[in-house]
Structure 1
């Protein structure tokens, strides 16, 4: 906060105020709806939207991130707490807040250890598959409140209200901005008006409850919402720490990943600097604050952050204003909140998660890399079949497994000289010239314990294919590191080739790699020298052959 407060200017205030007001209007129905997804009373969603944004404003690095309840994290909360406590019980609320504390502490520890790089270990296809699977699960879970009964049965008045709300929300999402623009509003203001469609539909449905006597028809509402600010909550269950530790770790990981995705997208639009380790501190503090206010795990919301950005937010002061307005809404009479119809809130959730059903990543992955497309499908199927927590584990394992699988199978090219030049290229792609007694191989990966066996097999295969080769030049252009296992492998390749009358050379070794090699015995053991370039290696070997010199054997 000290960083952006020092640079704050009066001209930024109108944008922050307008964004704070717009997001506050959006947060009331959205926060209450996501609390229902988490299996908590609706007011818990507002509680989780007051202190967390303030804590994030203190420590976070994004200028436009909106932190609070979010659909996927709410679903994960319900998946973790439901087996441990009855929904609606006091223990359920305590465990939800305790889960926020665990996730917050995990994030703070990761921030202290500067582990922001962890965001790189969840590939985009896996993340997309996880998001789509979670969205389907969330939408399916809202069919009962939408219809007033379990599918395929339904309570007619509830189903009608839910269906009308769903239709209005979809129409508002698609056409309201255009309509407002035709009425004379600017494109930016019309877009903001379109994003507030859920608030308008919720207000209309709430007003219809007493005016049309809908409760008498059996339509359920949220019920009484306590007025006043949340009391400080420090209650925990000592017998559930172990049960919440692993889920809290996974939720913390997802919180960081989704928040970084939202914040990075917006930061790039303004050429702002996002500090991943500082984000860990901000998100960790936000989740600890959520626990203190009796909330549940929170994260940066992609949709809400986009609204905050579009509404003119310049600094986290916009989120501070949002939190103050939400607190004021609880201090004011809250009787009207008790009339919010559950079918309309369910429709709000369904429309919100429909925006998460994006299949562009799957289409691109299918064309570009079928392995990534398979990872997308397996992750989505894992969420649907095994649950959200298992889906996260499957996604992480797939991301890491794909990385290891690719690293263990490095690309190796046989090189030849482009006629009339000193450039060497893959003979499978270019009309490059080779020499029968010189085999030039380019290794396009770092050498480590996981891929030395594959590299060794490929070298042996090429030596069998080129029986007349008397020199093997390993081009190390793409090799940035060689671990101890690979160092021993290089020595073994060199000794094996020497026994067969083949000389092994290295070319184009990077400086940091060469520094490490000088600390070993390999340079002295090599049957051939280490050349500065591939061209110099081939020229020297050709000169020796033409001069009848066996200098390098």
Structure 2
């Protein structure tokens, strides 16, 4: 049973049926057709040789299939992780391409160790502290950076940069040297990819295809373009003269390797690896839980950490790049009929066959096709509506989103995600240090109490009830004390203060000292201090503190009893 906890394949594999295998195999074929061009593209996006993407799409997929708890999550190279990898290894790639590959392998290893350790320590909940606005801002900015980084390949020029400004500056400086056939074919390729996404399924259904086959054909369009483009280069078509191709791709499987590098290199790549792990895990768990919910399946967040960690370690041992769960591939995997993680095993087998038998053939693949594939793939990651929605819902969320977006776009990826993490922590600390505290009154004719600013309620000028809507601890207790003193200052005729504790689940030692101080201040002013609706664990704390003996008021079981005993009638 303990072994099955870490290897879920021992549970679902016991009942695996031939019909499930057929569905998984069908899904794997479609995902493989989608993954081959993406794997090549994301390796190039990461600043690595194209075959690295193929290597990262074999053993890591198989390892996740054995250890993951999601039936449909498709693991492999993804755009955002590739961009973060490119940023992290850039200092080493600038010196030597082999050193850059070594750095990418170390990144995968460090990411695997971090994720695996976090899973064994059951730290999956920590991902919840990275707020959605911050993640959304980072991914949206990253999508624009990724798209901008592909413009040189679309135009057939050489240009680069670390941020949006430097990328566009390089493109504009070299735009006059653009290769016209490449630019025209790039535009046509993007047009075909976008049209197939938006209108392809509907058109093919009108032509008589079933929804399944219509979707399958549309999702195979990138693979079809790869085939057509490669054949056009091999046949020396006139339109392909001067078009840049992928270049030599070694045939065969990668040799098993151990990550190597100096201590300084490992140390410099530690924080980038942690950032890649956090962003990758948040993206993966979000997709996995969303897809699992639609099938009423369960995802174990801690086991997902272990499975993704093992997948990244597998990538590092096979000369691959960091991997995580991909949004688009996972959705395609689900829609194509995948029923179990075995679909990942079949996909890994398909990638193995492609690497062995198609590597030399793919060396003639035009780079602009991969660039167009990347741009169309990341288009869905940017959502302009999130800015307006965030502005309407919560201004502090909007500020966090905008800051993360701007820093990622204008500085670089590493500083953007660093700022995002710090902003998330700062937002959490700020919000928890200022709990919602409401003055409440009695709803006429009932025993219920509601906020005086939101409801027509009965109040007594001699009594004020404060309802605290959060547990009390060292960071927010002083805020409660401040609110009590403000209420006392605003009500000269006040005789009693009731602290309604219905939402207080815990009180730490610092907060208990503040409550004792509040009691002391109110006693000196001749104002009674009372508690109502105190929960058991909080009451235990009160009983073992000096507040119980020093309290100048009473502790009431319900707020209604407190109000009935103290309010003017």
Query: Shared topology, TM-score over 0.5?
Result: yes
Contact 2:246 2:365 in 1 (8 A): yes
Aligned to 1:551: none
Q: What CA deviation, in whole Å up to 9, does each residue of 1:143-187 have, x standing for no partner? A: 111100142311112212212111111111111111111122222
Return 5+ residue gaps in structure 2 as ranges: 1-8, 160-170
- CA drift at 1:331: 2.0
Taking a change above 3 Å as real, the CA distance of residues 342 and 88 of structure 1, as seen in their structure-2 partners, is farther
Aligned: 1:255 with 2:280? yes
* Distance in 2 separating the partners of 1:263 and 1:193: 25
* Other structure's SS at 1:83 match: helix
Aligned to 1:139: 147
Aligned length: 544
Aligned to 1:112: 120
Deviates more, 1:504-513 or 1:183-192: 183-192
* Distance in 1 separating the partners of 2:384 and 2:505: 36
Aligned to 1:276: 301
* Distance in 2 separating the partners of 1:426 and 1:417: 9
Deviates more, 1:210-219 or 1:225-234: 210-219
Pairing partner for 1:95 from 103, 118, 143: 103
Contact 2:93 2:101 in 1 (8 A): no
Matches within 5 A, 1:194-209: 194-209=218-233
* Distance in 2 separating the partners of 1:420 and 1:235: 73
* Other structure's SS at 1:312 match: coil
- CA drift at 1:88: 6.3
Contact 1:192 1:310 in 2 (8 A): no
* Other structure's SS at 1:332 match: helix
Aligned to 1:45: 53
* Distance in 1 separating the partners of 2:113 and 2:434: 38
Pairing partner for 1:415 from 434, 440, 445: 440
Aligned: 1:78 with 2:104? no
Aligned to 1:26: 34
Contact 1:224 1:335 in 2 (8 A): yes
Aligned to 2:3: none
Aligned to 1:124: 132
Deviates more, 1:288-297 or 1:77-86: 77-86
Output the TM-score relative to the length of structure 2: 0.93
* Other structure's SS at 1:67 match: strand
Aligned to 1:161: 185
* Distance in 1 separating the partners of 2:42 and 2:461: 69
* Other structure's SS at 2:28 match: helix
* Other structure's SS at 2:530 match: strand
Aligned: 1:60 with 2:106? no
Aligned to 1:4: 12
Deviates more, 1:84-93 or 1:518-527: 84-93
- CA drift at 1:192: 2.6
Matches within 5 A, 1:489-500: 489-500=514-525
Aligned: 1:425 with 2:450? yes
Aligned to 2:393: 368
Taking a change above 3 Å as real, the CA distance of residues 419 and 302 of structure 1, as seen in their structure-2 partners, is same
Contact 2:154 2:371 in 1 (8 A): yes
Aligned to 1:549: none
* Distance in 1 separating the partners of 2:140 and 2:358: 38
* Distance in 2 separating the partners of 1:169 and 1:208: 18
Return 5+ residue gaps in structure 1 as ranges: 547-553
What do you get for the CA RMSD once the two structures are aligned? Answer: 1.5
* Distance in 1 separating the partners of 2:270 and 2:30: 36
Aligned to 1:539: 564
- CA drift at 1:423: 1.5
* Distance in 2 separating the partners of 1:23 and 1:57: 14
Aligned: 1:340 with 2:340? no
* Distance in 1 separating the partners of 2:497 and 2:135: 43
Aligned to 2:24: 16
Pairing partner for 2:418 from 380, 393, 397: 393
* Distance in 1 separating the partners of 2:431 and 2:100: 44
Pairing partner for 1:171 from 195, 220, 224: 195
Contact 1:60 1:282 in 2 (8 A): yes
Output the TM-score relative to the length of structure 1: 0.96
Aligned: 1:527 with 2:527? no
* Distance in 2 separating the partners of 1:528 and 1:94: 69
* Other structure's SS at 1:425 match: strand
- CA drift at 1:106: 0.4
Q: What CA deviation, in whole Å up to 9, does each residue of 1:373-428 have, x standing for no partner? A: 12111111111112111111111111111111111222221111122221222111
Deviates more, 1:348-357 or 1:279-288: 348-357
- CA drift at 1:444: 1.6
